[in-house]
Amino acid sequence: MEKIYDVIIIGAGPAGLAAGSYAGRARMDTLIIEKDKDGGQIVITAEIENYPGGVDEESGPSLIGRMAKQAEHFGAQKVKDTIVDVELEGDVKHLKGLKGDYYGKTVIIATGAHPKPIGCPGEKEFTGKGVSYCATCDGSFFEDFDIYVVGGGDSAVEEAMYLTKFGRQVTLIHRRDQLRAAKSIQEKAFANPKMKFMWNTTVEELKGDGILTSMVVKDTVTGETREIVANEEDGTFGVFVFIGFEPHGELFEGKVEMKNGYIVTDDNMKTNIPGVFAAGDIRVKSLRQVVTAAADGAIAATQAEKYIEG
């Protein structure tokens, strides 16, 4: 058998990197496995204002860069590989990657989740330049601008109401003629004077030159399309997408307890499998933010240490 690590962390987003720092500080033999680039969702955020102690003009990449450097400083090793299968039962966990096999006494799953995209032309190009998936992250950047929110469920309506703190006007775009959100939430939204509703409408295309300046919408009843253009003085507007999340949890189906694609843990990040923990956006939780992901990672690493000692 190859080397057995004390802890293997799958994913190098805020949760995984925080876990790597705490595990390394505890002098555990730590390996972080990331299939792509460090950072997860946060690397698409141009500016971060709500991370405690962040520096001026903090960006997703700059914050993640410091987190990665810190984990490395504390001795966490890192490899780039895609894990394709896992064997989590027993005292030694076995992770199978495209490039090799990895063995650990404990595993911290920090594979994250990503917002469901609209899937229209221009969406990817203007993400972080007018298009956002996080109201608490980016709402303040659109103070006194027009804001559009795509979705009709609880999250979309709640986030739209939150965005009325910033936007001159917030318009909810929904593909049906009524919301899916709870009635109590709908009542608050309909009573909010800064809220407007665009029924039976889908976003077909997002346009601009460097930043978002217009969008094409379609009436799902008549099939007609029209273009909404940014206020001339503003030059842009915000489009916030809340049509659900897609957790990166397919690999763990049938291996650990899951709910709607997310991993179920207790408050100590423990799954139902001894020695296996989950942290960050992949787990069932109420708030998915950088600060909560980092906290999850710290707890998971601390609990992994206790598990090994026990």
Task: State in words which class domain 131-241 has.
Answer: alpha beta
Residue 301 contacts residue 75 (beta carbons within 8 Å): no
Residue 163 contacts residue 170 (beta carbons within 8 Å): yes
Q: How many Cα atoms are found within 13 Å in the side-chain-facing hemisphere of 275? A: 20
Q: Which of 284, 254, 247, 291 is closest to 266 using CA atoms?
A: 284
Q: Is the pLDDT of residue 119 over 60?
A: yes
> Which residue bears the tokens 């709607």?
260
**pLDDT tens profile 44-91:** 565 676 788 877 777 788 899 999 999 999 999 999 999 999 999 999
Structural element, H or E, at residue 197: strand 195-198
**Cα 308 to Cα 29: distance, rounded to the nearest angstrom:** 11
Residue 102 contacts residue 5 (beta carbons within 8 Å): yes
Window from 31-35, 194-198, 244-248, 273-277 with minimum mean pLDDT: 244-248
Average pLDDT over residues 107-119: 94
Identical fold for domains 4-115+245-309 and 131-241, yes or no, is yes
- Residues annotated as catalytic are 134, 137-138
pTM (two decimals): 0.77
Where do the domains of the chain lie?
4-115+245-309, 131-241
Residue 74: predicted pLDDT: 97
**Cα 302 to Cα 310: distance, rounded to the nearest angstrom:** 12
Residue 300: predicted pLDDT: 98
Q: Is the pLDDT of residue 222 over 80?
A: yes
Q: Which tokens belong to 211? A: 């930043």
Quickly state the pLDDT bin for 25 (edges 50, 70, 90).
very high
Q: Is the pLDDT of residue 254 over 80?
A: yes
Q: What long-range pairs does 251-255 form, CB within 8 A, spacing at least 24?
A: 251/83, 251/84, 251/85, 251/86, 251/111, 252/86, 252/109, 255/86, 255/88
What CATH code would you report for 4-115+245-309?
3.50.50.60
Instruction: For residue 38, report the phi and psi dihedrals to the nearest 5 degrees.
Output: -60, 150
Average pLDDT over residues 275-301: 95
**pLDDT tens profile 166-179:** 999 999 999 999 99
Quick one: how far is CA 144 from the chain centroid? 26
Q: Is the pLDDT of residue 243 over 80?
A: yes
Residue 223: predicted pLDDT: 98
Average pLDDT over residues 211-229: 98
